[in-house]
Amino acid sequence: MTESLKGKVAAITGAASGIGLATTEAIIAAGGTVVLVDRDEAALKEVCGRLGASAIPLVLDLLNPDDCKSLLDGILSKTDHLDIFYANAGTYIGGDLVDTDLDSIDRMLNLNVNAVIKNVRSVVPHMIERGTGDIVVTGSIAGHFPVPWEPVYSSSKWAIRDFVQIMRRQLIKHGIRVSTVSPGPVSSALLKDWPEENLRKAKENGSLIEPSEVSDAVMFMLTRPRNVTIRDIIVLPTNFDM
């Protein structure tokens, strides 16, 4: 048994590309409407023009405190309610900690952790008032394993995995489901900072998955009957050794 997404309204951060875009396309194909939240106005214009009226652009830079604070107001200015919030936006830093720029650490933690917590804080009162809702967060296999070549990124995903499990317990009584999807390496712009040799080897040996394979997992979560919560799904390339 599955639950229909027809008529549901979702908001997805980082929606102009990668996993966010793939999930947007899947929800619209299932009959839903998506508010696409992204800082890339040109990309949003192109994507929403292609996807039609069910794709609604909302240009926000989640690293800007005022933009981040305005998330729910922005969503509700374009639609009358919110059923699904998918906190997907994130960034990546790899390499040894001693080689990492301090400002880059701030940007990563602000987007991967702080913005997620603040965004969830923003949408929760609306969902509590309605007595229902789904919150999904993009985690990572790096949040389940201490990855030695990703000290900042891995730490950010460990933090957010803990946050998701705490919020799941806090919000059960309000009819709100909270879940995380934890992919391995995904073929997307997030890997632009990977060493070129590592990326080449991953592509050659099948150690990458496509964004649509992650969005399939998100759709599985969202379409379960309301008495079922899929707490966490780990989605790995079969040839990825971790």
Catalytically active residues, by annotation: 153
CA gap 196, 193 in Å, rounded: 8
Q: What angle do CA 203, 204, 207 make, to 5 degrees?
A: 50
List, edge to edge, every strand of the sheet that includes 33-38: 55-59, 33-38, 9-13, 84-87, 133-138, 176-183, 232-235
Buried residues in 83-97 as b, exposed as e (16+ CB within 10 A):
bbbbbbbbbbbbeee
DSSP labels for 21-66? HHHHHHHHHTT-EEEEEES-HHHHHHHHHHH-TTEEEEE--TTSHH
